[in-house]
Structure 1
């Protein structure tokens, strides 16, 4: 999105703020987990990237990131991320919350925060609970693999303040 383009950091706008609340609710903060994008640049008119765009960009950059980070668990936020790891077009609605394996990594697909921001009423409440339980399952699996790792800071980090200098350095 636009805010992410300004800062050069994934998920720091409204979607990112919602993500931070969801992570906090399950005992995670973003300064203790790795967050990245499948597609590293925003498509025109902020449209959802195509499956082909996701594959092209991820095959170039994401695979290298994963090799460097060596995550214990990968949570896919939304359809584009899910379909990249799943390897084909498939419904995020039918597959969210279901574990699968990609190149030896445990993958959990769930809804993207932007999807939650578009929901209202009962659908919003239901979707938020689903994401909460998906994140809880991911935390349990990560803690089983790395029980001594610190997953949460004592206070929620303010990402916009944290990345303000980066934002300023990006304006020429």
Structure 2
């Protein structure tokens, strides 16, 4: 009987949460590059004990591209090459990692892929990575990163637009 009561309470709580969320949910946007053009520019921040730079191009040729760099103690720790492209009526973010000497982490034909889950005027939510537009000159990026134990940590990057 206690189990049934507990399940009932959880269901009621979940329904209340969904009701609250549904009133504050942003309207979804079409998964088109022009709807994420705000991302274009040079963004700087701090993460992993160092300085980060992420530079996004304007949409062209069916994609946007970015370079990412992490600098620790005056040296590059790693780079990323990223793209967001339109595919099958959606968006996908793909990236490849490189060490400080531009040696690839992934195999030649391998990419890390993040399919789009939701797009609004203020958020791009990919499976494993999301972007939240705080203002025209600030954004937060959230990335799921596996730790040494195999668990997933949510890492936040706060960026300020410099150009």
Alignment TM-score, normalising by the size of structure 2: 0.28
Structure having the larger proportion of residues in strand = 2
Q: Which has the higher helix share?
A: 1
TM-score, normalised via structure 1 length: 0.27
Indicate the structure (1 or 2) with the bigger Cα radius of gyration: 2
